[in-house]
Chains A and B, each alone.
Chain A
Amino acid sequence: MLRDVYIAGCGMTGFGRAAGDLLDILEEAALAATEDAGLFSEIESVFVANMGAGILNHMSGLGSALVDRLCLYPTPAELVENGPASGGSAAKIGAYAVGSGAVDVALVVGGEKMRAVTGWEATDFVATLSHPQAEYIYGVTLPALAGMFARLYMEKYGITPEHLARVALKNHENGTKNPYAHIQQAVSLDGILNRPEAVVNNPWVAEPLRMFDCCPVSDGGAALVLCSKEVAEKTGKPLVKISGIGQATDTHAVHEREDPIELKAVQLAAKKAFEEAGIKPSDVDVAELHDAFTILEIAESEQVGFFERGTGHIALEKGETSLGGKLPINPSGGLKARGHPVGATGVAQLVEIAWQLRGDAGERQVKNARTGFTCNFGGFGNNVLCFVLEREN
């Protein structure tokens, strides 16, 4: 980028089930972020992230719809769709718009209204991102892909169902400290795994994954105001810089990969983000990873470089990824507890890290957090965006 880009404002709606429609969600998140930044009329471009309004809500043209709702016209606006990585993509494009000097202030808003349909329909909608001839027509859903991935990963590295459950325990506990989280309910190892009751409390979804290994279907929105350093300094907020962005893709169909448990797009996107920021994974103080399924938090924590391959579950077991640990992962509750309105998730991850770096994360605040990282995982790892954020002052 030609110049540095900063996060001047953050906003979120409560994730879960929204009373209003998709535009209400986008509007609420956008207004929260612009109010936080103290910038509204200064916005020169709007990027809206959404994956499924056409299918779920019978809506299109969300960029135009949102600027109209916000009375921001004639500000340029567009919709960015990149599956569950839509949020990360919109943030990247917004950052490039500011970083190129094309605009000084950009608004990035991600949102999804998934609970307008049944859980079955939502699962089918998300499955439309899979390969239409090689996966979707055979009934492969995202939980099914994650189940197969989990089976291989667990066998190779000795991960047990208890390790998966511990991801859920940690993230649900974090979710109880996040007023925006969809699920604010702690769970116990006995209740979801060890006791006979677990067969009902935590039924199989796609073996070896159970219900508490899967993120919920959520409504929600998140927004960021991105700007140049000159503008950011005038807001009086702590300066949070987007110091690295990485993106990579992989084969559409998972079975075409040389090794299906090698998340190459994750590895490449993370490497690029770290290189651009000029830091190492060990410099990161707090991270938000894309735990749509518990196994993904463990796998990503290794493949972005935080832990050696095959040791992510050990770090988890030792509490290194818990709040108060060496590298807290998903202090927001992650997708697992904060929720996963697909178009909003990538933006929500950045909002959480920005709050952490500003010291605004309340009960879940990671002490002395200066450097943060996000991984927004699209498809089943076929389009991944990673970001490094740093607090400057």
Chain B
Amino acid sequence: MAQLEEVLRPQVWEFPPYPAKSIMLASGETMVIRQAKREEVPVMLKAAAALTHVERDFYDIVAARAYAELLGWLRYRVRDEYCLVGLIDGMLVGLVNGRSLSKKVGVSYHTIAMRRGLRIGAHLFASKMEYHVEYLGQQEVYIVAESPIGFRRWMIEYGLEKRPQVHHELGGVMSWSLTRDLYFAAKDRLVVGERPVSDELLEKSATITVLEDDALIQQVAGKLK
């Protein structure tokens, strides 16, 4: 069994870690963005599962796909995947994931904001791009959008380049690319955060907690008025 499992598991590239940073949000709260550990996946799966039936703003497809990707990472079925989490006092307020296709090319998977109206998704996506370009040293990142919000945030705000010849892992929709040049052109207006993160904040962010399902759904979809 162990031998077969060895065959089923992907090879691993030990990529450099993403150094945690803190960001003050519009509300004055501080969000810590740090890399998630594989053993933290179950708690993130709980949050993703809660959102898989929220049709609003395409949360359902994003959450369902992110669930599968995170599960793939947990069960060693995806190569070189990572996940960054946004935490306010340990509470999960968003996550982003992706993987490395090669040492030169990254693939962006998903961005889920679990609190709305504070640009948490924008900060997390920027951190994901920061990771690929500045810490993994990749030349470009392949990206697709599944919602109009994503399209505005990524394709338009970063001025991404079309890559029609690229078959992104998320399907046959148009692929786009963030090149190093595009990243550094956008960095001043889109990528923020403070490092190092204080020990106190890191301690508060050491354990991920998530809202109960109903509260999380309401936080994302609102009380429909």
Chain A, interface size: which category? Answer: 20 to 34
Chain A CB within 8 A of B189 CB: yes
Which residues of B184-225 have CB atoms within 8 Å of chain A's CB atoms? 188-193, 222-225
Could you tell me if A187 and B126 are in contact, using CB atoms closer than 8 angstroms?
A: no
Could you tell me if B23 and A14 are in contact, using CB atoms closer than 8 angstroms?
A: no
Given the complex, which residues of A lie within 8 Å of B148, measured CB to CB?
Answer: 118
Could you tell me if A212 and B223 are in contact, using CB atoms closer than 8 angstroms?
A: no
A197 with B27: in contact, given A16-B225, A185-B117, A219-B225 (CB under 8 Å)? no
Given the complex, which residues of B lie within 8 Å of A203, measured CB to CB?
Answer: 189
Could you tell me if B189 and A200 are in contact, using CB atoms closer than 8 angstroms?
A: yes
A199 with B192: in contact, given A118-B148, A212-B26 (CB under 8 Å)? yes
A18 to B224, CA, bound (A): 6
A17 with B25: in contact, given A199-B192, A200-B123, A200-B190 (CB under 8 Å)? no
Could you tell me if A191 and B225 are in contact, using CB atoms closer than 8 angstroms?
A: no
Chain B CB within 8 A of A201 CB: yes
Could you tell me if A188 and B117 are in contact, using CB atoms closer than 8 angstroms?
A: no
Chain A CB within 8 A of B118 CB: yes
Given the complex, which residues of A lie within 8 Å of B64, measured CB to CB?
Answer: none
A28 nearest CB across to chain B (Å): 9
Q: Closest residue of chain A to B189, judged by CB?
A: A199
Convert A200-219 into 0s and 1s, putting 1 for each residue whose CB lies closer than 8 angstroms to a CB of B: 11110000000010000001
A191 with B192: in contact, given A16-B222, A18-B225 (CB under 8 Å)? no
A18 to B225, CA, bound (A): 5
Could you tell me if B225 and A202 are in contact, using CB atoms closer than 8 angstroms?
A: no
Chain A CB within 8 A of B68 CB: no
Chain B CB within 8 A of A183 CB: yes
Could you tell me if B222 and A196 are in contact, using CB atoms closer than 8 angstroms?
A: no
Q: Closest residue of chain A to B28, judged by CB?
A: A188
A13 to B25, CA, bound (A): 29
Could you tell me if B26 and A192 are in contact, using CB atoms closer than 8 angstroms?
A: yes
Q: Closest residue of chain B to A187, judged by CB?
A: B26
Partner of B27, one of A13, A16, A185, A220: A185
Given the complex, which residues of B lie within 8 Å of A219, measured CB to CB?
Answer: 225
Chain B CB within 8 A of A59 CB: no
Chain B CB within 8 A of A15 CB: yes
Q: Kindly count the residue-residue contacts between A and B in the assembled complex, taking CB atoms under 8 Å apart.
A: 66
A219 to B222, CA, bound (A): 14
Chain B CB within 8 A of A190 CB: yes
Q: Is the interface of A mostly helix, strand, loop or mixed?
A: loop
Chain B CB within 8 A of A19 CB: yes
Could you tell me if A17 and B26 are in contact, using CB atoms closer than 8 angstroms?
A: no
Chain A CB within 8 A of B103 CB: no
Q: Closest residue of chain A to B56, judged by CB?
A: A17
Chain A CB within 8 A of B122 CB: yes
A248 to B119, CA, bound (A): 40
Given the complex, which residues of A lie within 8 Å of B29, measured CB to CB?
Answer: 191
Given the complex, which residues of B lie within 8 Å of A196, measured CB to CB?
Answer: 192
Could you tell me if A200 and B225 are in contact, using CB atoms closer than 8 angstroms?
A: no
Task: From B190, B192, B193, B223, name the one whose CB has the most chain A CB atoms within 10 angstroms.
Answer: B192
Chain B CB within 8 A of A1 CB: no
Given the complex, which residues of A lie within 8 Å of B28, measured CB to CB?
Answer: 186-188, 190-191
Given the complex, which residues of B lie within 8 Å of A18, measured CB to CB?
Answer: 224-225
A197 to B123, CA, bound (A): 9
A14 to B222, CA, bound (A): 11
A203 to B225, CA, bound (A): 28
A183 to B122, CA, bound (A): 19
A197 with B24: in contact, given A118-B148, A203-B189 (CB under 8 Å)? yes
B29 nearest CB across to chain A (Å): 8
Could you tell me if A185 and B118 are in contact, using CB atoms closer than 8 angstroms?
A: yes
Chain B CB within 8 A of A195 CB: yes
Could you tell me if A17 and B24 are in contact, using CB atoms closer than 8 angstroms?
A: no
Given the complex, which residues of B lie within 8 Å of A191, measured CB to CB?
Answer: 24-29
B195 nearest CB across to chain A (Å): 12
Convert B170-193 into 0s and 1s, putting 1 for each residue whose CB lies closer than 8 angstroms to a CB of A: 000000000000000000111111
Partner of A183, one of B25, B117, B193, B223: B117
A212 to B191, CA, bound (A): 19
A: which residues have CB within 8 A of B? Answer: 13-19, 118, 183, 185-188, 190-192, 195-203, 212, 219-220
CB-defined A-B contacts under 8 Å, sample of 16: A13-B225, A14-B225, A16-B225, A17-B224, A18-B224, A18-B225, A185-B118, A186-B28, A187-B27, A190-B28, A191-B28, A197-B192, A200-B189, A201-B26, A201-B118, A219-B225
B: which residues have CB within 8 A of A? Answer: 23-29, 117-119, 122-123, 126, 148, 188-193, 222-225
Other than the given A15-B225, A16-B225, A200-B190, 20 more pairs (CB < 8 A) read: A17-B224, A17-B225, A19-B225, A185-B117, A187-B26, A188-B26, A188-B27, A191-B24, A191-B28, A191-B29, A197-B25, A197-B192, A197-B193, A200-B119, A200-B126, A200-B189, A201-B25, A201-B26, A201-B118, A220-B225
